[in-house]
Amino acid sequence: MAAFINILLGGVFHAAVLFLVAAGLQIVFGVQKIVNLACGSFYALGAYFGVTTVTWALKAGLPPFLFLPVLIASGVVLAVIGPVIERLLRTVYDRDESFQLLLTFALVLMFQDIMRYFWGANPQQLGNLVMVYGKVGAGGVDLPVYNVLVIAGSIAIALILGGFLQRTRYGRILRATAENRAMTEALGVDVRRINVVVFTLGTVLGTVGGAFVVPTSAASLDMAVELVVEAFAVVVIGGLGSMRGALAGALVVGLMRAAAIALYAELELLSIYLVVILVLILRPSGLFGKPAE
């Protein structure tokens, strides 16, 4: 029973972080029709920058229990790279998807070198900061309160994002743009500005996701690609462009990964991608995606 609960809690924690990155990927694809492989790089950058910012803040005298707000702020500050990268992507908006994939993959490689240049090749971590908030018992398993806070934070972000898209005027304009860009322009919307806002939002979701994960595991150069592999599994399972799909896909991948690590660690990716293949065969549009016309 304890092993099952351990898998469940570990899976939900990973799903919470994965959801943030996948939500960024989904909203960017939904509105801009760009498959952004660089979402993994934003995640890694959020993790590295989070380590640096929190380490600096602690040295400057920040009480350890305040590290979480600083970590979140470090992820949010990285929003500044969103408009810069979006400017670069404008060159491929109207081109074939292969150009978009090549350009965003080039960004992954470039970010990897940038991170190597600033932080070196060795993984960076935050020590035992994850235990600052203590532990909570659940079904015979001790869980860091930090993990509970991250899960709650991700749920809150999912609810806010859902409310923003469904209930606000700007959210409705974003949904209209996702459905029909040309018509939205004919209603007076500057779609270039929408692209900047959406891409920046996608970037922040990735960087905050990376910042959230770094107290529990080290920031490393491999984490961008590892995350992209999982985020794409989330998107295929949940359905491309669907926020509900991102949530469902993240839960499936998070739980599959936790179960595989606990039972057959070697088969982690194999088990996830078996589900991906099954979904592609049985429901190609994913659990919540719209079937292709």
Partner 1 sequence: MLDLGALSVDIQNSHILRGVTLKVGQGELVCLIGRNGAGKTTTLRSIMGYRRPNAGTIAFLGRSLTDLPTHAIVRLGIGYAPEESEVYGDLTVAENIELPTWTCPEGRPAAERIALAYQIFPKLRQYMKRGGTQLSGGERKMVSIARALALDPKLLLLDEPFEGLSPAIIPTISDGIASIRKLGQSVLMAESNVHHIPDDADRLYVMERGEIIFAGTPGEAKRDPAVMRVISGAA
CA dihedral angle for residue 242, residue 243, residue 249, residue 251, rounded to 10 degrees: -170
Applying CB under 8 A, what is the total number of residues that bind partner 1?
Answer: 19
The distance from CA 212 to its chain's CA centroid, rounded to whole angstroms, is 10
Reference 195, options 61, 73, 83, 65; nearest CA is 83
Under rule CB under 8 A, residue 283 binds partner 1: no
Nearer to partner 1, 165 or 262 (CB): 165
Does 292 participate in binding partner 1 (rule CB under 8 A)? no
* Residue 176 lies near partner 1 (rule: CB under 8 A): yes
Quick one: which segment of 69-77, 111-119, 170-178, 250-258 binds partner 1 (CB under 8 A)? 170-178
Establish if 128 lies at the interface with partner 1 (CB under 8 A): no
Q: At what angle do helices 2-32 and 39-59 cross, to 10 degrees?
A: 120
**Residue 95 contacts partner 1 per CB under 8 A:** no
User: 55-67 as b/e, with b when 16 or more CB fall inside 10 Å?
Assistant: bebbeeeeeeeeb
Does residue 186 belong to the site contacting partner 1 (CB under 8 A)? yes
Determine, following the binding rule CB under 8 A, whether residue 60 of this chain makes contact with partner 1. Answer: no
Closest distance of CB 195 from partner 1, Å: 13
| Tokens of residue 94, six digits | 């109207």
Per CB under 8 A, 163 contacts partner 1: no
Closer to partner 1 at the Cβ: 185 or 226? Answer: 185
Using CB under 8 A, which of 189, 218, 262, 287 touches partner 1? Answer: 189
Q: Is 190 near partner 1 (CB under 8 A)?
A: yes
Binds partner 1 by CB under 8 A, chosen from 1, 121, 182, 265: 182
Determine the 3-state secondary structure of 138 from DSSP.
strand
- Please say whether the beta carbons of 21 and 196 come within 8 A: no
Question: 190 near 196, Cβ under 8 Å?
Answer: no
Q: Which residue has the tokens 């993790």?
A: 47
Asked if 262 interacts with partner 1 (CB under 8 A), we say no
Q: Please pick, from the candidates 109, 173, 196, 287, the single residue that binds partner 1 as defined by CB under 8 A.
A: 173
The rounded distance, in Å, linking the Cα atoms of 289 and 237 is: 9
Alpha-carbon distance of 172 to 80, in angstroms, equals: 25
Q: Does 121 bind partner 1 (CB under 8 A)?
A: no
Binding site for partner 1 (CB under 8 A): 169, 172-173, 175-176, 178-180, 182-192
